[in-house]
Amino acid sequence: MATLTQLRARFRQICKLADQTDVDEGDPTQAVITQLLNDSINRRYSSLITSYPFRFLTRLTMSYIASQESTALPATAQGRMISLVRALPVGTTDAVQAYDLDPVAVDELDSYEFYGTPLAYAIDMVSQEIFLRPVPQTTMSLQIYAVAALTDLASSSDTPAWCPSEFHQLFPYDAAAMYMAEAGDQNSQQIKDAADGIYENLKIFVERNYQDVRFKNRARRLF
């Protein structure tokens, strides 16, 4: 795993190797390089989770209180993109028996019976609440699959742990391309192309090696 210190050093190396023009990009501070790296990491991660929303999920378990119109999301799920909600039938704790709920908009909830076995869910992103319809009359467990949140690199030993180490070169190339483009360096496009090439290989790796949680759940229920 490449550390923040190593990523910053690689950023400087890329800029130096690419500096074949008279453009003076200056000598960026450690703080500037760190910000560029974090911008790259967050942008590329956002792109990946948009393309593969079911491959970067963490599972959270919560209780939905009986007969309540809505329940607050767990603090660890608030503000995060929720891609899947599964319900455990009342009276069981066996995760294998969990079933998928249909995602709907809050204003579509009235099309369902108010009480009964839940079939659908809606998320209010303002109040950070989850609504089930029909509303269960017995407290039941939900499995919330939310996109894992990122933490910016800050200390010298921090690493972009979500990304396989062989693709860590993406971020200094990406950061260098952004920095050089801002300075008007014509070589920035060449560096950007290199970053985009690494990103395309990362996407292929994700497609082949990161399991879609929906497939995993379906496969588990076959046995």
Q: Check whether 24 has a pLDDT greater than 70.
A: no
Query: Could you give the percent of the chain with pLDDT greater than 70?
Result: 92
Give me the sheet containing 82-87, strands edge to edge. 57-64, 140-147, 82-87, 99-100
Q: How far apart are CA 213 and CA 34, in angstroms?
A: 33
Note the pLDDT of residue 222.
Answer: 36
Provide the mean pLDDT of the chain.
Answer: 90
pLDDT interval class at 25 (50, 70, 90): low
Q: What is the mean pLDDT of residues 125-131?
A: 95
Note the pLDDT of residue 219.
Answer: 39
Which pLDDT tens digit goes with each residue over 195-212? 999 999 999 999 999 888
Q: Check whether 132 has a pLDDT greater than 60.
A: yes
**Whether the model pTM is above 0.75:** yes
Q: Are 213 and 220 in contact, with CB atoms under 8 Å apart?
A: no
